[in-house]
Amino acid sequence: MKIFVVDDSELVVERVRALLSDIEGLEFIGQATNANDAVEAILKQKPDVVILDIRLIGKNGMNVLERIKKEHSPPIVIMLTNYPYPQYRKKCRELGAEYFFDKVTEIESFVKVLRILAQDPSQGELPL
């Protein structure tokens, strides 16, 4: 399963990679720190899963989410953010994000979902 990470913090990207490094079947195919580069790379590389932050350089992650979900066969999108406010969670769901996790309090659930998806990407949205 091909993974693309979008976050403006290199430390967060490295932490995500470390957390997921022992999950068999995951392949990191790229990363981006800003919205424009993210959309361009995602459309070109066609990952199975995009891990996406809300706060980015330039446009925000919700702009990226909205754009990539317009594609035929869009990737599964996992929002991973320090902005877990209900209004953001609701808006991301409306725009098509399958998952929404707080970077601080929901990291275990985030890893659990990726373990399950790595075994069977067709799972779509899993109940937690």
pLDDT band at 126 (very low <50, low <70, confident <90, very high): low
Question: Is pLDDT of 62 > 90?
Answer: yes
Q: What is the pLDDT of residues 80-125, one digit of tens each?
A: 999 999 999 999 999 999 999 999 999 999 999 999 999 876 665 5
**51 and 17 in contact (C-beta within 8 Å)?**
no
Q: What is the DSSP letter of 122?
A: G
> How high is the pLDDT of residue 76?
95
pTM score: 0.92
Alpha helices per DSSP H over the chain: 10-20, 35-45, 61-68, 86-94, 107-119
In this predicted model, which residue has the larger pLDDT, 126 or 51?
Answer: 51
Q: What is the DSSP letter of 7?
A: -
> How high is the pLDDT of residue 128?
45
What is the layout of strands, in order, in the sheet containing 2-6? 27-32, 2-6, 49-52, 76-81, 99-102
Domains of the chain, start order: 2-119 (3.40.50.2300)
- How far is the C-alpha of 89 from the C-alpha of 37, rounded, in Å? 23
- In the three-class reduction of DSSP (H, G, I as helix; E, B as strand; rest coil), residue 99 is classed as strand
- How far is the C-alpha of 126 from the C-alpha of 61, rounded, in Å? 22
